[in-house]
Amino acid sequence: MTLLQEHSDDSQAEQEVVVLCNPDGAPRGTALKAEVHTTQTPLHRAFSCYIFDEDAHLLLTRRAVGKKTWPGVWTNSVCGHPSPGESDEEAIYRRLAEELGASANAHPHPVLPFFSYEAVDASGIMEREFCPVYRLDIQRQQLGLDPNPDEVAQILWVPFDKVVRTATFIPELLSPWMVEQLSQWPDTV
């Protein structure tokens, strides 16, 4: 990567826009992502997606150590913020490519469509998100994983029941949003 490309990537990240929202998820404006995640984070739109393979193993990702919030923490497969005018499904496919260098031809389906949470990182930065949760079922070999090291430090396929037990008995190993999401995960999904 050249210096020009590095600068371009940094500028693009600095210019990423998130959708501010009401408690019901309805948009109420936009703000720069770089200015939103603070100690007084306003409620904004996000999503979480859990990717399952044909053996019901969940793809866990460990956040890169350079991430602003929860660096190095294990979490769900992919997450992010939909851009203004972008559907959650479009955002999932975009972040799948950006984070994991992957694509999928399956459609994500909602698991917790009205999930929201607040959590404060050890650095004092608050996450405050209206964050619908999705499930994406794929054939593992068709995913074509090539994780972006700026986003993902490690990946691991784990049986879902083991992930749920970890969230129950050792929650500090996982992101706080994942622990909350798994505590609300429907039995029928």
Q: Which residues are catalytic?
A: 79, 129
Extract the annotated binding site: 37, 44, 81, 99, 127, 129
Spell 132-157 as b/e; 16+ CB within 10 A means b.
bbbbbebeeeebebebeeebbbebee
Residue from 51, 27, 164 nearest 99 by CA: 51
Taking the mean position of all CA atoms in its chain, how far away is CA 11?
A: 21
What whole-number distance in Å separates Cα of residue 44 and Cα of residue 36? Answer: 9
Extract the annotated binding site for Mn(2+): 37, 44, 81, 127, 129
Extract the annotated binding site for Mg(2+): 99
